[in-house]
Chain A
Amino acid sequence: MSYTKEQIFERINDVLQDQFEIAPEKITLGADLRDDLDIDSIDAVDLMIELKPLTKRKMLLEDFNDVKTIEHVVDAVYDVVMEEQKKSQ
């Protein structure tokens, strides 16, 4: 099962609204996790856990190197999804 970047963004959008109580209008690709969305390192760990159904494996901290915006998260998750897909083929 593969996911497009749009689907990954939708999933992140859902998690941020439902679990983190972040206003929907704040959630854009360019939004900065720390400055705009007030997501701290503990939140980031929970976000990774919530995204596990997409990535199949637990996201590692190094997958999130240099992650600052939502777009970076989408890309990082997408990379892991593709990597896992390659492995399973």
Chain B
Amino acid sequence: MYLIDRVWRIAATGFSFALFGVGSLLIAIVMTLILFPLPISFQVKGRWTRVVIRRATWFYIRIMKGLGLLTFDFHDLDRLPTGGALIVANHPSLLDAVFLMSVVPNCLCIVKEAMTKNPFTFATVSLAGYISNGQAGEELVNDAASALKRGQNLMIFPEGTRTTSSDQLALQRGAANIALSAGCSIVPVVIECFPPTLRKNEPWYSVPEKPAAFRFRVLESIRQDSYLSSGLPNRKLARNLTQTLHDTLLLELQRADSC
């Protein structure tokens, strides 16, 4: 019985990966055909594309749930901002961004440079206005900060890559630098996934022993005036804020472990 279940989930995972690629391509084709001829700005096209992506990912995670691959629950979604805030989260799994995209309105993300070149994803990524990580740090921070100032939300995983260890978080300072540059509020999201699945360097077909249970908890937002107006040089502020983010996320993760 276990074997059948496992084989089923491997096949269903493969199907889900294929669906993701085909879905992205489909969104790109449809949005290009509909949007391209319209006399509206690139910004508005981007916003429409993000609305479509939000709906599509909403369905996508429910399809994965329907296939028996995972379960999920979201907590305190009403804390999510309508725009102009930085969403920071830990990054246990490949699916984190997909889950967040399905619930955060008007949300940009920073994508791997490879996704801007992948034939299935590049068009959607570019239509949606996602920011590539293939540029110099300073430009990336500027691009991200100006998107936040224009009123878009931006999600970022400050670890810079998927989490490799369960009891520590190594945050890079890019997220803090973006927040400082934009002067925006920060909404931390704690992601738990048990048993772990689709971690870094884990092939897609190595499915966990049982379907992964995802839990997303939106924490109270960190207001900009709590970290901005202290008169310290920016480098120190970036270090302090990174430490605050680290402590906030880790505390919640440990609290989850103990209960």
Contacts and interface: CB of A to CB of B under 8 A. Distances in A.
A45 B236 contact: no
B181 to A, nearest CB: 9
B235 A20 contact: yes
A25 interface: no
Interface string A36-55: 00001111111000000000
Contacts of A62: none
Nearest to A15: B235
Interface in B160-199: 172-174, 177
B174 A40 contact: yes
> SS class of chain A's interface: helix, strand, loop or mixed?
helix
B174 A19 contact: no
B235 A46 contact: yes
Contact of B234 (A40, A44, A46, A61): A46
Contacts of A19: 233-236
Contacts of B239: 20-21
A35 to B, nearest CB: 13
Contacts of A43: 173, 235
Contact of A45 (B137, B172, B174, B233): B137
Interface in A1-54: 18-21, 40-46
B165 to A, nearest CB: 18
Interface residues of B, number: 14
A42 B236 CA distance: 13
A42 B137 CA distance: 6
Given A42-B138, A45-B137, A20 B174 contact: no
Task: Name the residue in A19, A42, A44, A45 with the highest tally of chain B Cβ atoms < 10 Å from its Cβ.
Answer: A42
B137 A40 contact: yes
A42 B233 contact: no
A21 to B, nearest CB: 5
A21 B138 contact: no
B238 interface: yes
A40 B172 CA distance: 8
Given A19-B236, A20-B236, 18 more contacts: A19-B234, A19-B235, A20-B239, A21-B235, A21-B239, A40-B137, A40-B174, A41-B136, A41-B138, A42-B141, A42-B174, A42-B177, A42-B238, A43-B173, A43-B235, A46-B234, A46-B235, A61-B136
21 contacts: A18-B233, A19-B234, A19-B235, A19-B236, A20-B236, A20-B239, A21-B235, A21-B236, A40-B174, A41-B137, A41-B138, A42-B137, A42-B138, A42-B174, A42-B177, A42-B238, A43-B173, A44-B137, A45-B137, A46-B235, A61-B136
Interface of B: 136-138, 141, 172-174, 177, 233-236, 238-239
A-B complex: 6 closest residue pairs judged by Cβ atoms:
A41-B137, A19-B233, A19-B235, A42-B137, A20-B235, A45-B138
